[in-house]
Structure 1
Amino acid sequence: MLLFIGIACVVTLLLLADYKSVMEGVCSIGYRNICILCILQIITIGLINIQWMKISKDIGLNMRFIDALDMNMRGTFFESITPAAKAGGEFAKVMFLRSKLGFSLGEASAVVSFQKILSMVCFLGLSFVSLICFLVIVPLSWEYRSLLLSSFLFVSLLVSVIILSLVFREKLDKFIYLIPVLKKHEFKIKDFLYNFDECIKKLIRNKNSFIFHIVIGIIIWTLFAVKTYYIVLVLGSSIKFSAAAAITYLTYMVGMLPLLPGGLGSFEGSMIILLSSVGISSSVGMVIAIVLRFVTFWFVFLLSGIYLGTKLIIQRRKEEALV
C-alpha cells in the first residue's frame, strides 16, 4: 500500500511539473548514458559486497562474493518495499547470515550493525558538511530549512542510538533482564550478547581494517554524487560537482525519514527544490530526480527481484527433478 502511495506522489510531482518537458528530458538522456549510470550502480553494489566480505573476514567468518551478493539482493528487495528506515532489509540480512551461512544470531547482528554504522557515519559526515554549506550559502525557505534540520537530527539520533547501545551495552543487559518475557530466555540472550560483543570488539580493535571500511564507505557515497553530476552534465546544466554532491546527500537525508518505501515522493520533491535553489528549473530537476531514482532505486529493485525470482525458479525445478 505504501509503495503505491509513493508512486502516486511521484506521479503528482510529474503532473505539477511541465510533463512534456520532463518526458523529453528523460528521453534525451539516451540508452548509452543510462547504461553508464547502471554500470556505476553495479560498481557501487560490488563495493558494498566487498565491504561485507571484509567485515566477515575480520571476525573470522567466511563469506564469498556470491554470498554477499545473495544477501544484498534479498536485503535490497525487502528494504525497497518497506519505509525508508530500512529495518526490513536489515532483518532479512540477519536471517540470511543465520540460515544460509551458519552465523550465530550474535555474529549476524554484529556484522549487519557494524556495516550499517560505518555507512551511516560516512553519510552523516558528508551530510553535515552539505547542510552547513546550504544553510550558509543557498537561500532556502524557513520551512525547507526546518525539514533539512529535522532530517539531519533524525539521522543523527538514529546513528547515536545505535552507537550508544554498543558503548553502554552492559547497562542495557540489566534493563533487558528486568523484562519478564525476556528473562525466560536468559541463557539464549546471554549467548547472543556474548557473540555480539566479541565480534564488535574484533572489528573495533582492527584499526587498519576500520580505516579501510571508512574509505570504502566514502567512495560508495561519492559514487552516488558522481551519478547525479553525470546526469546534470548530460542535460547541459552547469553546476559544480560540490553542489551536485551536497544536493545528493541532503536529498537522501530527507528520503531517510520513515514516511514511504525508499523515500518515494519525498526524495523527488526534495531534489527538485534543492536543484531549483542553484538555478536549475523544476522540469530539469524532475528529470534528474527521475533518472537518478531509476538507477539507484528502481534498477536495483528490479535487479534484486529478477535475481531472487530466477533463484526461486531454479530451486523449484531442482526440487521437481528430484521427485
Structure 2
Amino acid sequence: MIQRWEGAGRIFQVILGIIVIAGIIAAIGVGEMMAIMSGITLPRLIALTLLQLGTLYLTSTIWYLLLREKSSTITPSSVFLITMAGTFIESITPSVKLGGEAMKIYLMKKKSGLSYQELTGVAIASKIFYLVPFLLISLITIVAAFFILDLPAVVYSAFAGLLICCCLLCLLLFRTGEKERTGKDHPIIQRIRTRTDAARSFLSRSSGMAAEIVRDPKKSATLYLLAFIVWAFYPVKVYLVAYLLGFQVSPIVIIIATFTAYLVSMIPLLPGGLVTFEGTMVLVLVSGGMALPDAAAVAIMTRCITFWIPLLLSAAVTLFFIQERRSETVSSI
C-alpha cells in the first residue's frame, strides 16, 4: 500500500510539473512558442537526441571502468542499458542525482555477480567522480556570473547545499579508516551513520572500498577527466539548441545558464528538477539579454532533448528489465 502511494505521488509530481510548464507556455503564447521551436526539424531533433545518448553513454563508462576490474562478465552495453534504467528512476524521483542508484546496484548485481556491498562502494565512488567536477565547474560559473549577471539567490543556496553534501560524503569516505586506527569514529561520522550495527558495518565497508578507488591517482585522473568531458557537453547542447532556433547567444551566458539550471534542479522538489531547471535557465537567459519567449523556447526544447526523450527511452529499457525479470521468475517455477 505504501509503495502504491509513493508511486501515485511520483506520478502526481510529474503531472504537476507538466501542468506548470504548460501554464508557462500558455501565458507566453502557444502560437508564438510553437513558431519559435519549429526551427528544430526532425533530423535536427534526432541528431541532438543522439548527442544526448552519447553523453549518457560516457556517463555509463564511468561505472564500466570501475566495474571491469572486479567483474569479467560486465560489458559496456549492459552497463549503458542499466544506466538508462537508473536514469528513468532518477527522472521520476525528486533527488540530488541519487534516485537511480538503488536500481543500478540491483541490476548490476545480477549482471556482474558482485555483492551489494561492493556495488555500493562503486556507486559512492562514481558519484564522487561525477559530482566533484560539476562542483568545481559550478564554482567557476558562479564566480564568473557574479561579475556579469544577477543570479537568483536560490542558485547560491543550491551550490551551498551541494557543497555541504559533497563535504559530508568525502568526510565519510576519508574518515572511514579512523575507527580502525584509533578504535573510535569521528564525532560527525557517528551522527550520520545508521543506528543499527548491520547497516553501520555495511556502510563502513562500502565506504572503505569507495575510498580505495578514489585514492588511486591514475584511475581517479582518468575518471575525473571523463566526468569533466561529460559535463562540458551540457552547455554545448544548449548552445546548439539556441543556434538551431535562430538565436545568437553569448557562449558565456549559455554556460552560466546551463550550470546554474542544473545546480538548482538538484534541489529535491519535483522529479528530474522539473520547473526549477526551466525557470532558472529562463531567468539567466533573460538576464543575459534574451526575450522571455525566446529564453523559454530554448529552456523547454533543451529539456525535451535532455529529459523528456531520454525519459521515454529509459522507460522502454526499464520495461525490458521488468519483463526479463518476470520471464525468469516464471521459468524458475
Asked if 1:290 corresponds to 2:286, the answer is: no
Q: TM-score with structure 2 length normalisation?
A: 0.86
- The answer as to whether partners of 2:125 and 2:210 remain within 8 angstroms in 1 is no
Asked if 1:239 corresponds to 2:249, the answer is: yes
Q: Which protein has greater RCO, CA pairs closer than 8 Å, 6+ apart?
A: 1
Cα distance between partner residues in 2 of 1:15 and 1:53: 43
- The answer as to whether partners of 1:94 and 1:112 remain within 8 angstroms in 2 is yes
Cα distance between partner residues in 1 of 2:201 and 2:252: 47
Q: Please, which of 181, 186, 190 is the counterpart of residue 175 of structure 1?
A: 190
Cα distance between partner residues in 2 of 1:238 and 1:213: 34
Unaligned runs of 5+ in 2: 1-11, 180-184
**Where do residues 61-210 of structure 1 align in structure 2 (5 Å cutoff)?**
61-62=71-72, 63-138=74-149, 140=150, 144-169=151-176, 170=179, 171=185, 175=190, 182-183=196-197, 185=198, 189-190=200-201, 193-194=204-205, 196-201=207-212, 203-210=213-220
1:7-64 CA-to-partner distances (Å, cap 9, x unmatched) read: 1221122122232211111222111211111011111111112211111235x33431
1:106 Cα shift?
Answer: 2.2
Q: Which amino acid aligns with 1:213?
A: L
1:67 Cα shift?
Answer: 2.5
- The answer as to whether partners of 1:13 and 1:269 remain within 8 angstroms in 2 is no
Root-mean-square deviation (Å): 2.5
Cα distance between partner residues in 2 of 1:91 and 1:316: 19
Cα distance between partner residues in 1 of 2:123 and 2:156: 27
Cα distance between partner residues in 1 of 2:271 and 2:168: 22
Cα distance between partner residues in 1 of 2:302 and 2:50: 13
**Where do residues 254-269 of structure 1 align in structure 2 (5 Å cutoff)?**
254-269=264-279
- The answer as to whether partners of 1:106 and 1:193 remain within 8 angstroms in 2 is no
Which 4+ stretches in 1 moved above 6 angstroms? 176-179, 317-323
1:311 Cα shift?
Answer: 4.2
Asked if 1:5 corresponds to 2:16, the answer is: yes
Cα distance between partner residues in 2 of 1:249 and 1:220: 13
Q: Which amino acid aligns with 1:252?
A: Y
1:293 Cα shift?
Answer: 0.4
- The answer as to whether partners of 1:84 and 1:255 remain within 8 angstroms in 2 is no
1:319 Cα shift?
Answer: 7.0
Unaligned runs of 5+ in 1: none
Cα distance between partner residues in 1 of 2:231 and 2:203: 32
Q: Once the two structures are aligned, what percentage of the paired residues are identical?
A: 24
- In structure 2, relative to structure 1, the CA distance for the partners of 1:16 and 1:135 (3 Å cut) is farther
Cα distance between partner residues in 1 of 2:139 and 2:245: 28
Cα distance between partner residues in 2 of 1:224 and 1:269: 17
1:287-322 CA-to-partner distances (Å, cap 9, x unmatched) read: 111111011111111111112223444665677789
Q: Which amino acid aligns with 2:312?
A: L
The match for 1:213 is 223
The match for 1:248 is 258
- In structure 2, relative to structure 1, the CA distance for the partners of 1:83 and 1:135 (3 Å cut) is same
- The answer as to whether partners of 1:29 and 1:234 remain within 8 angstroms in 2 is yes
Q: Which amino acid aligns with 1:270?
A: T
Q: Please, which of 33, 53, 63 is the counterpart of residue 52 of structure 1?
A: 63
- In structure 2, relative to structure 1, the CA distance for the partners of 1:313 and 1:175 (3 Å cut) is closer
- SS of the counterpart of 1:126? helix
- In structure 2, relative to structure 1, the CA distance for the partners of 1:67 and 1:193 (3 Å cut) is farther
The match for 1:270 is 280
